[in-house]
Each structure stands twice: as C-alpha cells, then as structure tokens.
Amino acid sequence: MIQRFFRILNAPLAVLLSSVLLLSGCTAEIPEIKADEDVPEPEEEIVEYDGTLRIENGAAQPMLNYSPSDSGNEGSDILRFCVYVETDHDTDADGKNDLVKAFVQVPRSAAEGKYKAAVIYDPTPYSAGITNNDLGHEMFPYSDDDFDYDDLYNTGDSRVAETQEDTLTAAENADPYGWTYTFPGSDGNTGFYDASLYDYYLIRGFAVVEACGIGTYGSEGYELCGMDLERDSHKCIVEWLTGDRAAFSDKEGKKEICADWCNKNVAMTGCSYGGTLPFEVATTGVKGLKTIIPFAGIANWYDYSNSQGISICGSADYTDNLAAFNSGGLYLDAEWRVMNDRYCAFLNRIAEDEKEAAGLFAPVWQKMDYSGSYEDIGCTALIIHGLNDFNVQTKHAEAMYNAFKKAGKNVKLILHQDGHNNIFGQMVRKELFDELVNKWLCHYLYDVDNGIEDMPEITVQSNIDGTYEAYDVFPDTDTLKLGSDRSGDETLIRSDDLKGFYEEYVDSRKVVDRYYLEQDEEYAKVFDLKPENEEPLTFIGTPEVKIRLKPSDITKDNMMVTAVLLDTDENNKVFNAFITGNSVSDILPFRYTDPYEFGGGHGDGYIREFVQSPTDVKAVSYGWTNLLTPDRGNSASEYTEKSVLEEDEYYTYNIYLQPTVYTLRPGHTLKLAILAQDPQRVLADETENDNTPYFIDDYSNPDYSFTIDEASLEVKLDVIDMQE
C-alpha cells in the first residue's frame, strides 16, 4: 500500500496533477482533472542581466536566462553537473567509504566568481529512481542470513584525489545523461525528475542541489530508511557545500572538486520523505544549515506507521519496504532484478525487528524519533503541512514545531487544506507562497533585513472559504466537553466485514468519509455530539476521546480501535468542503487562475486555487489505539508494552485524534464514529496486476470484537472564543 502511493506522490508534476480527483457529489463518479487542460501556453521573455545577485523589496529578483536541465551547459547561464561526496562509513562493506551522488545546478556567474550563491538542497530519495514494484517482493527477496547492525558503522578507506577540478571544467565535461537517465520501470520518468521544481529560485540566483542519499541509484552504500547513517549521508552534502568535506567530479574519486561558488549558507526542503530528511539533518546541528522548509515531513517513523500501540500500515514492518523501494544502487544488474545478498539480509533483519515490535514503541523505532532530539538543532524552520494529509498526519508537524520551540529557534507553521503535497503556486494571505519562501530564503541565506522572520507564528487556511487566518501566538482556548446522552446502553462492535469497503467506496469512487456513517451498528457506533453553536465554532489542537470498552477475547493481539470525528449538517443538507478523494494519497482538486512571472524567459506560472466539493459529511480528524493498551497518554514512549487484561472487564481508553484547526458552521453538528479496524489503514492498496484488495494476513486480525459502554464517552475540544 505505502510503496505504491509514494510512487504516485513523487511523480513529475504533470503526472501528479493528472491523478488529482474532483469530487462532484456524495456518491457520484469522480472525474479526473488533467494537468494540461485549460492551461495557457507560457509566454517567453528575455532577461538581460550582468551576473550579479539582485535583491529588491526584500526578495531575490530574476537575474539569469533559464535553460532546461537537458539542454547542456554550453552557452547556458546555468551550469549543471554531478559530484560524489564521500561519507564517513562503509555500509556496503566494499572497503571504501560510501559516495553519495549529488546533482548541482548553479548560476554560471557564481561559478565565475561574480557572487557567492546560497543553496536550496532537496534530499528526496525518490528522485534517483524507484524500484518497479509491479513484481512485489520478487524485486527484492529477503534473506534470512544473520545481519549485525553494528557492521554498518564500519569505516572504509578514504579516497585520495590525483587532481583538482574547478566547477567550470566539471560543467564543461558534464554529460546531461548523468541527471536525465532512465531506469527500469520508470514509466517515462528520468533521474532527478523534479529538477525543475525550484526553477523559480534558480532564476533568482540560488543554487539548487539534489542528493538522494546512500543506497539510491548512482550512490554507494545501503538505503537505510530512517536510520542515523542515512541522515549523516545528507549531512555530508551540507558539509561539502560549506567547505568541510571532500567531493569528486568522478565516481572513481580521482578529481576533487570544491563548492567554492557557495556562500556556505544552505536551506533544506522537500516533501514527504524529502521533507523528513531536513528534520533529521537539523537535529545534528551541522554548520551552514541555516533553515529548513519541510512539506509533510515525518517527525518519527513510529508515529508514521503506528499509533498508540497498533500498526496503521497494514503490516507491522514498514521502513524495510520504503528502503527497498529506493534502493536502486543495490542492484547487481541493469534490469534491477538481482539484489545485493547482504542488503537483503539487512532488509529481513529490520523487517523482523519491526514485526516483533508489533505496534509498540520498541528500540527499533526509538532510534527513528527526531522530535525528541532537539538539543543540537541550530537552524530555523518554516514547516508546512496539509490539514487533509492522510499519509503523513498533522501530529508530525506539531511534534517538530514543538521541538524547534524547545531548541529556542525561530519556527513558523503554515497549515493548508490540501493533502500530501506542497503549496507552490498558491496564494497565502494575498501573497504568492513562492514569494513568501523567497523572502524567507533571502533573510536566512543572504542576510536580507526584510522582516519575514516576524511573520505570524501560525497561519491556517480556513476549511470554510479557503482564506488564511494568522495568529501571532497560539490562541487562548476553552475546553469544550461533549458526551453521549445514552445511559446504561452497550454496543458490540465487530471487525470482520472490511473487504466490502473496497468495492463500495473505493472502486465505485464514492466519498470515503460516508463509510463511517453508513455501517451497520454491529460494525460502527456513531454518536451525535451536537455542540450548541449559533456562531461558527473553531477548535484547534488535538481532540481527545475517552471511552470505556470491553474486549471480547483478550488472547488476541493487534486489535485496532478507530475513532473518527465527522462534520455533518443537522438537516443532512449538502455543503461544500475540501475533500481529497478516496485514498490516503489523494490531493485536492484545483483550478488555475492568474499567471505569475517566473522570469528569465521561463514562461509564466499559474496560480492554483483549491476547489471545494459538495458532500454531506466531512471527516475532521481520526485516531487509533490498541485494545491491549488502555489508559495511556499521547506520547509514543507510553506504548512500550501491552497490558495484561482480565476477561469480561471494561477498560478506559484514551484515543488522541490528529491535531487540526477546524471551524464548525452554525447548523452543523459533530458525530463520532467508533469502529474496529479502519479500512483506510489496514486494507492494503490494490495490486498492480488485478486491481483487487488484499490483506496482510500475517498481521491483521480481521475477526475480533469489543463492547462499548455508551454512557462513558467524553470528547474534549480546545475551542477558540467559545460562546458562553
């Protein structure tokens, strides 16, 4: 499941946009929006410049003529080439320290010494090339050979260069195939396929670097998803940019090359996995990393793939899948069918350790928690996250915001209504987001005094009309407690009817949020919370659900309890809402509006505006826990072991939903659905071959039940300006 939608979400922009869904009704078919429809042809312009950085009104201005990445370097204002940065470890045990390939785009005038360029660094692993998972695990069969994690930390020999090569020479000798190559199963994608994502900033004098980390195609070593060695391979890129580490223009390590065109100031950015690595590197305190701008980044891999003692990814192991998905550098053949045996043993070891954890915060997960490693953070952060992101939940943005606060660093938070995506081309409080980022980069990388560091603490896009509300500090709130009007009632909830979900809601393209309301009561109990609000009621933070449940069979394991908070109209009327679609990977439909200038002859960009869809129910937030972990708090550290339960006993469960900011319209009511397994999570995505759902049989327990004490329900919401 997770592998497949990671591929979708990191496809080239045109491919990505063509998969966007427009919801036209509650049960109607959802038509597709094509990326190339109704988009005006870009207008060309010629920019004359003298090769110096231009800063006006606190932001960088176009200062070069653009050329596409596959056009070569001759006569171009942009030089493109690849380098290989040496790390400190020999993870693949070949006797030499691993090299990491980096694709560099730098303005020619910086390479010629007319100014020093700051760097935007995107570490997204997918960019190097992902494995074709049409054949499933046949592409990377695991080995049960013994594997010792400590062996990954061995040091190999360092390379000794025979000569120095300058940037102009490296660019002159560069072959564009080094960053436009194709790879097996690429479906037309090329290496570093998102090289154009930062053209807006490249034209304005920033250099852009992409490196995908150890184990990815073109690099050496092992792909070690979430581990400190993966983090350090990206830290090494920053160190090369600041002059503190060696790199080579050839993979043999004979020609050393310096980043002498760089002003030693770096910003890291990226989305999803690419938004996670900036968090990781920030915790090292590496010199020269001045700021990060992560989109939809993960704060810790436990809370990504687990929740309160239960796996939410269909299988208890996860990082092995994502590591293998990006392990193009580990294949021994050109077709990517024969995998390095020792790496297969590593994949098996990490998979078995995560399976043994079985949803608990075990040591294998504790090493992948970045939110608790804030002591060495030395940079600022502009964190962006979607309130409708059902892939990387909002809990991660909250955790890293708090980590930067604890570190005493300037951090700002932008929460938008989209799903798992960036928001380039969007308007944020009447300013193009691309320009907001431009000012942020200029302040922290070029020391421009433009006041952007004093932007509001939190900026939130309204779920009502899409406008942005800004808060200089987190607002004061009152606690609103909602409960059930039932007394003495009990409901037995079963878990054994999930497969029908796929055909009814996903395959028929109905709004999935309706699933939680349309189940028979034996599968889902829906409570009417009915807050009294004659005016709009806005709640912020983490909704908390407290409820008493009685497991039917305490001998079973991995018994999920799901809670979903829903917004409906009291009279069941249709209303407009931001609906992302039927899958955790979906993003919002949008329309193009006005053009905006890229400059440099690039042609205009077009502002994208999110589109609301008609519905009669909207999922607001959601959470999961394990029947074997009652009465715990909201920290992963409280889920290191399961409780020993007694037969035929009720236990109190605290279910912490995903943090949100949501406004409930007058005339609307909140409902809370309590069910067993959440099909959005435990039902794996359709297979590539026959488009039918499948289950992870070695982990899921589709047959269990529990009884709800209906009178015990209490829901807590932190409400802004609650009406008396």
Q: What is the mean pLDDT of the chain?
A: 87
| Beta bridge mates, 268 | 121, 292
Question: Token pair of 362, please?
Answer: 């075990």
pLDDT at 509: 59
First to last CA, the chain: 46
116 secondary structure, DSSP code: P
| Euclidean distance between CA atoms 565 and 539, whole angstroms | 12
Residues 368-406: pLDDT tens digits? Answer: 999 999 999 999 999 999 999 989 999 999 999 999 999
Question: Token pair of 205, please?
Answer: 């004098």
pLDDT at 519: 84
Question: Token pair of 41, please?
Answer: 């042809």
One-letter amino acid of 278? P
Residues 3-50: pLDDT tens digits? Answer: 222 222 333 333 332 332 222 223 223 333 333 345 555 454 555 788
Residues 502-513: pLDDT tens digits? Answer: 566 665 556 778
Residues 135-187: pLDDT tens digits? Answer: 444 556 788 899 999 999 999 999 999 999 999 999 999 999 999 998 887 77
The pTM score is 0.91
Region label for 580, one of left (φ > 0), alpha (ψ between -120 and 50) or beta (otherwise): alpha
Q: What is the mean pLDDT of residues 532-541?
A: 90
Contact 522, 493 (CB under 8 A): yes
The answer to whether the Cα torsion of 634, 637, 640, 644 is positive or negative is negative
Give the per-residue SS3 of 290-350: EEEEEECCCCEHHHHHEECCEECCCCCCCHHHHHHHCCHHHECCCCCCCECHHHHHHHHHH
Question: Token pair of 330, please?
Answer: 């580990």
Q: Could you give the 3-state DSSP secondary structure of residue 405?
A: helix
pLDDT at 702: 63
Q: Where are the beta strands (DSSP E) in 123-261?
A: 163-164, 207-211, 247-248, 255-256
Element of type H or E holding 523: none
| Euclidean distance between CA atoms 47 and 45, whole angstroms | 7
Locus of tokens 């992963």? 636
Instruction: Using the predicted structure, report yes or no on whether residue 584 has a pLDDT greater than 80.
Output: no
Q: What is the mean pLDDT of residues 100-110?
A: 98
Question: Token pair of 585, please?
Answer: 């990977």
Residue 495, judged by CB atoms within 10 A of its CB (0-12, 13-18, 19+), counts as: buried
**What does the radius of gyration of the chain's CA atoms come to, in whole angstroms?**
26
- Say which residue, 561 or 696, is predicted with more confidence: 561
One-letter amino acid of 607? I
| Highest mean pLDDT: which range of 47-61, 173-187, 591-605 | 591-605
Residues 326-371: pLDDT tens digits? Answer: 999 998 888 888 888 999 999 999 999 999 999 999 999 999 999 9
Instruction: Using the predicted structure, report yes or no on whether residue 598 has a pLDDT greater than 50.
Output: yes
Instruction: Using the predicted structure, report yes or no on whether residue 122 has a pLDDT greater than 70.
Output: yes
Strands 289-295 and 380-386: parallel
Question: Token pair of 536, please?
Answer: 């709009």
- Say which residue, 52 or 519, is predicted with more confidence: 52
Instruction: Using the predicted structure, report yes or no on whether residue 277 has a pLDDT greater than 50.
Output: yes
Residue 682, judged by CB atoms within 10 A of its CB (0-12, 13-18, 19+), counts as: buried
pLDDT at 581: 73
pLDDT at 685: 40
Contact 37, 14 (CB under 8 A): no
